[in-house]
Amino acid sequence: MPIRLNKDHLKGFLTESDFQTIAPAVLKAHDALHHKKGAGAELTGWVDLPGRIPDSLVSDINGLARDVQKNSNALVSIGIGGSYLGIRAAEEFLKEDIKLPIYYAGQNLSSDYHRNLLKELKSKEVTAIVISKSGTTTEPALAFRIVKKFMENKYTVKEIKKRIICVTDEKKGALRQIAAKKGLKSFVIPDDVGGRFSVLTPVGLVPLALAGIDIKKFIEGARDAQKEFSNADLSLNLAYQYAAARFLLYNKGKTIEVLSTFYPHMVFVAEWWKQLFGESEAKDGKGIFPASLNLTADLHSLGQLMQEGRRNIFETFLMAGKSRSKISIPEDKEDWDHFNIVAGKDMDFVNKKAQEGTALAHLEGGVPNMTITVEKRDAYHLGELFYFFEKAVGISGYLLGVNPFNQPGVEAYKKKMFQLIGRIK
């Protein structure tokens, strides 16, 4: 079943007339995106990527996965930003499907974190995937040095060739040079797909397949989403409706979007979403600030702010139609807590009622909200969800009048850091 979008709790803030008024702008954004006429068009290869992924690539990756799963019991995925968040989001979303645990390196510069990682890996048979377009991004480059040294002390040169995999530029960059010189297995990051859109390239496909995820189903979901969300008609395209609602609310002073989920396995989907939207939209003094909440836990910490704080917020709930498992609430003879009323019900029944109650309460408190529902927690529906958000942010960026596919501001901290550590190049 396709993704569902419930806009009922936008009433009182947006009208059908608002959507009709913005429809021509959405059509213009669609045309710019699909005909490569907009800013950053050189990085829009992700738009039709699902339909272009060759079967030969999938077979190659799955063959490698079978070999790795025979000789390893741990994966180390080295990357940051788009080379980390999509993988982590998929791993958490599909936790029960994982055959090899994934450890992460290079997503921070903490000595304690990386020292503890090496302690964890000491007794493991390790395969490492290093993911970087250039090979010179500070965090993964330094982590790769550390992990590579660890593996050189643990394995022979011949064995290392089987245990280090590079995902990088086709022709240039430090990591490409390392792969060529050391004879390492490598995969290519397409030039026309930026990092935060790269989860359906080898950036995501390689580590996920090695971990045990069904990447054929993952791609299939994204392919169906590509078809589903290619319609230029705003009234028929849910990804465009989501983008339009965000833009309309932004123009009414709602400058912060909170993505709230009631499912722990979706927390890192929200982290991936924050990069996707924050890095894509925040240009030229514009942009919606993307935040996230992990509910119901955060209702007991930030719930007060959501209910009665400054009214510059709108909310999007990310929900699952079905849980993978059931757990029945037992009856208690004394019923001291007065919850026998839900005895025999599945816990997810109460979870969904908590979401419905939260959505109503927040609406009454002045927070317009939408609900996105993913029917099942499997690889197919995750591929669909990733593409839904990618398509929405492309349209959203063009509605804002910015280039959604660059990130010039990201370089600012790097320049200052390089000066402070004495790096010249």
Domain ranges of the chain: 4-38+221-400, 49-213
Side-chain half-sphere CA neighbours of 174 within 13 A: 14
Q: Do domains 4-38+221-400 and 49-213 have the same CATH topology?
A: yes
* One-character DSSP codes across 33-63: HHTT-STTGGGBTTSSHHHH--HHHHHHHHH
Q: What is the pLDDT of residues 322-346, one digit of tens each?
A: 899 999 999 999 999 999 999 999 9
Residue 50: Cβ-neighbour burial (10 angstroms; 0-12, 13-18, 19+): buried
Residue 223 has pLDDT above 70, yes or no: yes
Residue 97 confidence (pLDDT) above 90: yes
Closest Cα partner for 257 from 304, 303, 308, 291? 291
Q: Which CATH architecture has domain 4-38+221-400?
A: 3-Layer(aba) Sandwich (3.40)
Please check the confidence at residue 296 and state whether its pLDDT lies above 70.
Answer: yes
Dump strand ranges (E) for 155-284: 164-168, 185-188, 256-261
The fraction of the chain above a pLDDT of 90, given in percent, is 94
Note the pLDDT of residue 414: 82
Instruction: Inform me whether the pLDDT recorded for 233 exceeds 80.
Output: yes
Q: Please give the Cα distance from 100 to 207 (Å, whole number).
A: 10
Q: What's the pLDDT at 418? A: 85
Q: Is 1's pLDDT higher than 70?
A: no
What residues are annotated to the active site? 279, 300, 414
Number of helical (H) and strand (E) elements in the chain, helices listed first: 16, 10
How many Cα neighbours within 13 Å face the side chain of 162? 15
The torsion angles phi and psi of 59, rounded to 5 degrees, stand at -65, -40
Task: Please count the other Cβ atoms lying within 10 Å of the Cβ belonging to residue 91.
Answer: 23
Tell me the pLDDT band of 420, cut-offs 50, 70 and 90.
confident
Contact 321, 1 (CB under 8 A): yes
Q: Give, in words, the CATH class of 49-213.
A: alpha beta
pLDDT at 411: 79
In sequence order, the β-bridge partners of residue 105 are 78
Per-residue model confidence as pLDDT tens digits over 107-120: 999 999 999 999 99
